[in-house]
Amino acid sequence: QKEVEQNSGPLSVPEGAIASLNCTYSDRGSQSFFWYRQYSGKSPELIMSIYSNGDKEDGRFTAQLNKASQYVSLLIRDSQPSDSATYLCAVTDWWSGGGADGLTFGKGTHLIIQP
Amino acid sequence: DGGITQSPKYLFRKEGQNVTLSCEQNLNHDAMYWYRQDPGQGLRLIYYSQIVNDFQKGDIAEGYSVSREKKESFPLTVTSAQKNPTAFYLCASSPSPGLAGEEVNNEQFFGPGTRLTVL
């Protein structure tokens, strides 16, 4: 059974600081890693994808992947109140039987940015 | 406008009824997925389809059925056999991944969701 673990929070961060979200996964065969943001009552919105070890930056967001440690993280710089949401980590094997399987999700970390 | 649409936004079902949730996409994506989300929980995979006229069971397929007759459409039926159907249902789609070893894009994009409540 594939598992993805996240600290449920809430994680409270002052406005303008760096928010650090972490995720571990159980399946060493996982190849694709995603971070989604979900506002209350809404559907998840993809904010970052990462496939190789190291860092990937997109605006205020940086995803970090360490496959040896089976660890994925998301950094949000200059945190804004609008970043307050639940952040879902998701993983998948990108090649299985001819196509992409579904994602395995963690339960999410609730992030609160304090003005 | 390119995107994924789901209907209805809210759906109420009586005990013993089957209901069908609609999912349509005009992104020309090959793969489509159905997930369910319960309060305070992550998403769990119900069914997925990588190509027209083919689909596979996910982790929690019991009590659900799907069809994929068109590339654009992937409806989900919640049958009376599903014992606890009240949940937030999310449809997603993804471009077809490349061959092994090539750069891959298997990002999944979600529709707005359908909230199903059993009365």
Q: Is B49 helix (H, G, I), strand (E, B) or coil?
A: strand
**Amino acid code (one letter) for A17:** A
pLDDT per residue as tens digits for the range A10-32: 999 999 999 999 999 998 888 88
In the prediction, which pLDDT does A1 show? 74
In the prediction, which pLDDT does A98 show? 45
Q: Do B104 and A95 touch (CB under 8 A)?
A: yes
Distance CA A67, CA A53 (A): 6
Distance CA B51, CA A75 (A): 35
pLDDT per residue as tens digits for the range B10-30: 999 998 899 999 999 999 998
In the prediction, which pLDDT does A100 show? 59
Q: What is the rounded average pLDDT of the residues A103-107?
A: 94
- Identify the bridge partners of residue B33 per DSSP, sorted by sequence position: B48, B92
Q: Quick one: which of B101, B111, B83 has its CA closest to B2?
A: B111
On whether the CB atoms of residues A71 and A56 are closer than 8 A, the answer is no
Residue B41 has its nearest CB partner, among A31, A100, A107, at: A107
| pLDDT for residue A94 is more than 80 | no
Identify all chain A residues contacting B45, using CB atoms and an 8 Å cutoff: 102-104
- Which residue shows structure tokens 């159905």? B34
Distance CA B56, CA B45 (A): 10
Q: Please tell me the distance in Å from A65's CA to the nearest CA on chain B.
A: 16
- Identify the bridge partners of residue B94 per DSSP, sorted by sequence position: B31
On whether the CB atoms of residues B58 and B46 are closer than 8 A, the answer is yes
In the prediction, which pLDDT does B103 show? 55
| pLDDT for residue A45 is more than 90 | yes
pLDDT band for position A97 (50/70/90)?
Answer: very low
Q: Please tell me the distance in Å from B80's CA to the nearest CA on chain A.
A: 25
Average pLDDT, chain B: 90
pLDDT band for position A102 (50/70/90)?
Answer: confident
CA diameter of chain A: 48
In the prediction, which pLDDT does B77 show? 98
Torsion-angle region of residue B83: left (phi > 0), alpha (psi -120 to 50) or beta?
alpha
Q: Do A46 and B109 touch (CB under 8 A)?
A: yes
In the prediction, which pLDDT does B106 show? 80
- Tokens describing residue B72: 């654009």
Q: What is the rounded average pLDDT of the residues B96-105?
A: 58
| Cα B5 to Cα B49, B56, B110, distances in angstroms | 17, 22, 9
pLDDT per residue as tens digits for the range A54-92: 999 999 999 999 999 999 999 999 999 999 999 999 998
Q: DSSP state, B95?
A: P
Q: Which residue has the higher pLDDT, B3 or B2?
A: B3
Could you give phi then psi for residue A82, rounded to 5 degrees?
-70, -10
- Which residue shows structure tokens 């005990």? B15
Q: Quick one: which of B99, B42, B3 has its CA closest to A102?
A: B42
In chain A, which residues touch B (CB < 8 A)? 4, 8, 31-32, 34, 36, 42-46, 49, 51, 88, 90, 92, 94-95, 98-108
In the prediction, which pLDDT does A112 show? 98
- Count chain A–chain B contacts defined by CB atoms under 8 A: 71
Residue B50 has its nearest CB partner, among A32, A98, A106, at: A98
pLDDT band for position B3 (50/70/90)?
Answer: very high
Percent of chain B with pLDDT over 70: 90
